Amino acid sequence: MASVSVEAVRKRYGALEVVHGIDIVIPDGEFVVLVGPSGCGKSTLLRMIAGLEEISGGIIRIGERVVNEVPSKDRDIAMVFQNYALYPHMTVRENMGFSLKLRGAGTSVIVEQVRRAAEILSLSSLLDRYPKQLSGGQRQRVAMGRAIVRNPQVFLFDEPLSNLDAKLRVQMRTEIKALHQKLKTTSIYVTHDQIEAMTMADRIVVMHDGIVEQVGTPLDLYDRPANLFVAGFIGSPAINLLRGTLRRDGGRNWVATDAGIDLPLGGNAGGKDGQAVVYGFRPEHLALGNDGGLPVRVDVVEPTGASTFVYADLSGAQICGVFTERHGFHSGETMHLMPQLDRVHLFDAGTGHRLVG
């Protein structure tokens, strides 16, 4: 096991730079998820760590060793690919034992290691099958088995679950996490699915257009998004964002929207009077206000059983609320909703940065 550190790493394809200087330090044993929209460069970064892409600038270390010029096979890493990349002409056993065989391990070592990995992943009964005789979930597990069989320093995953159906994805998510808790191998996991990131990560790295937007624990990112991008990317249903002007008058702070609504703020809000800001609150941080809250007209009500999603119109802006109590909303009715003041996020409208008081 080893730490991984990425220092000012850049990637250029010809004249086009797609990764613009990324710094991440991943301590030994941590499970880090790289998340971001399609095309943001997460696969590229992962592949540079794997040694499958050249590094155009910066330094990547695995443990103490700078690996910029070290070929993949000598980096002591294992990778799970989105499409599994199982060798179709080899049985599950041969697939899993391949790396050990290449490294010249003895037959007894290979047999023992494959047996151990197969047991961990419940693959023991499938060892003599060929990849084409396996279901998607089983192939996924074999790909994992191939990775864990030789005890690498680092596991790399590139969207390993995106080819599975929704139910299996949730199940494998749990399995991968359990596996990590058992093996404690440093892991870097790429996904564009923020739920996957939230549920699996010790720490999340949010990427966007080739830069890192924020690094933190899942709850950090959720509770204190550093900017508008992270606020909008993390959380489902998405955070409500309303544009307006910050007003300070004596001890009272509020945000005045262009539509003439005054959005309430707590006492410790940052920012200057007159500043253009974005006011954000998450759907579940809305309470039924009596007459004091924001007047909204309910458009759509979606009960899921556990909670109820309410989509409503606030003077032309659409907002979403999630309620765990069954209030009995009706579409068309007008009601008052109140954001929890200590859960309101304020961002500068120009830079998108979080304003702290």
Partner 1 sequence: MSLRKIFNEARLMLLGIVIFIWTLIPIYHLFVMSITPRVETFAGALWPSRPTLENYETVVKQGHYYLEHFWQQLWNSAFVAVMVCAITLAIASTATFAISRLRVRGGRLVSNMALATYLIPPAFLAIPMYKVMGVYGLLNTQWSLILTMVTFASPYAIWVLKQYADKLPYELDEAARIDGASPLQIFRLIYLPLMAPSLVAIGTYALLLAWNEYLYAFLLLSADKDITLAVALGHFLTTDDAPFNVLMATGAVYALPPAAIYYVFRRYMVSGLTAGAVKS
Ligand X SMILES: Nc1ncnc2c1ncn2[C@@H]1O[C@H](COP(=O)(O)OP(=O)(O)OP(=O)(O)O)[C@@H](O)[C@H]1O
For 78, the token pair is 């294992």
Q: Which residues between 41 and 70 bind ligand X (CB under 6 A)?
A: 41-44
For 245, the token pair is 């002007």
Q: Which stretch binds ligand X (CB under 6 A): 31-39, 96-104, 134-142, 301-309?
A: 31-39
Exposed/middle/buried for residue 95 (C-beta within 10 Å: 0-12, 13-18, 19+): buried
Least Å from the CB of residue 199 to partner 1: 23
Residue 155, binding choice from ligand X, Mg ion, partner 1, none, Cβ under 5 to 8 Å by partner class: none
CA distance 243 to 280: 9
For 174, the token pair is 């749990």
Least Å from the CB of residue 39 to Mg ion: 8
Q: Which of 334, 318, 335 is nearest to 240 (CA)?
A: 318
CA distance 23 to 163: 30
Q: Are 320 and 309 in contact (CB under 8 A)?
A: yes
Least Å from the CB of residue 169 to Mg ion: 16
Least Å from the CB of residue 320 to Mg ion: 29
Q: Cβ atoms within 10 A of the Cβ of 290, count?
A: 8
CA distance 222 to 35: 14
Residues that bind partner 1 (CB under 8 A): 50-52, 71-73, 77-79, 81, 83-89, 98-99, 102-103, 130-134, 136, 139, 146, 163
Confirm or reject binding of residue 99 to Mg ion (CB under 5 A).
no
Q: Which residues between 33 and 92 bind Mg ion (CB under 5 A)?
A: 43
Confirm or reject binding of residue 95 to ligand X (CB under 6 A).
no
Confirm or reject binding of residue 194 to ligand X (CB under 6 A).
no
CA distance 265 to 254: 5
Between 74 and 112, whose beta carbon lies closer to partner 1? 74
Confirm or reject binding of residue 192 to ligand X (CB under 6 A).
yes
Q: Are 96 and 149 in contact (CB under 8 A)?
A: yes
Least Å from the CB of residue 204 to ligand X: 14
Confirm or reject binding of residue 38 to ligand X (CB under 6 A).
yes
Residue 192, binding choice from partner 1, Mg ion, ligand X, none, Cβ under 5 to 8 Å by partner class: ligand X
CA distance 26 to 187: 9
CA distance 298 to 332: 5
Residues that bind ligand X (CB under 6 A): 13, 18, 36, 38-44, 192
- Kindly list the residues in this chain that would bind Mg ion in the complex (CB under 5 A): 43
